Structure 1
């Protein structure tokens, strides 16, 4: 499966536990929705992914990616130290050029 460069980079940053690189794929005003909470801006997104990574040691494997215009849906297999691992999750993305302006994670 061929992924856009920014999506490939996001997965690589997560798998290398690089929260700074992960956050750099988002716009300055981006929002992430995950597990009933939202995080706005790169600093909050960086802190959120850092804490989640420390807690769960997540590794992502792309399963499917569909994009229509500025909307994308990435299906990933997420493995880590959480109950039910590995699990399939959907990353609902709003893209602004090469950056992500919104990410909503669902099971």
Structure 2
């Protein structure tokens, strides 16, 4: 197996910082979720960029209160030493009712430096 080949993972093999974020996000625990990010982290969600911990914290609070939904990890993959892609199935009271989203994580020094969320 070549090192540059993507490897399929599950939640048990994801880095702790990603599972910490995902579990905190699922339970709307913004205080814990924000600890997973670097101070200069960037989140891009639905085409909107949230840069820095204050903006990310506001985004987390907004996404926790705007809609009610369930989120289930359906796939996880490590694409290189610092990049992971997880796929999640969401169901809830948002427009459309269900969606599958890809979360593309880039890690730096054991924390999330960049997160891109897109269908």
1:97–1:64 Cα change, 3 Å: farther
Q: How does 1:1-107 map to 2 (within 5 A)?
A: 1=10, 2=12, 3-67=14-78, 68-107=80-119
Unaligned runs of 5+ in 1: none
Contact 2:18 / 2:112 at 8 angstroms: preserved in 1? no
Please, what TM-score do these two structures have when normalized by structure 1? Answer: 0.90
3-state secondary structure, aligned to 1:53: helix
Determine if contact 2:40/2:113 at 8 Å carries over to the other structure: yes
Number of positions where the alignment pairs a residue of Structure 1 with one of Structure 2: 107
Counterparts of 1:24 and 1:85, CA distance in 2: 30
Partner Cα distance (1:58, 1:25) in 2: 22
Q: What stretches of structure 1 move > 3 A for 4+ residues in a row?
A: none
Task: Answer with 1 or 2: which has the greater Rg.
Answer: 2
> How far does residue 35 in structure 1 lie from its aligned partner after superposition?
1.3
Query: RMSD across aligned C-alpha pairs, in angstroms?
Result: 1.4
Kept in 2, the 8 Å contact 1:64–1:76? The answer is yes
Kept in 1, the 8 Å contact 2:73–2:87? The answer is yes
Normalised to the residue count of structure 2, the TM-score between the two structures is 0.82
| 8 Å Cα contact 1:14-1:58 kept in structure 2 | no
- Aligned partner of residue 84 in structure 1, secondary structure: coil
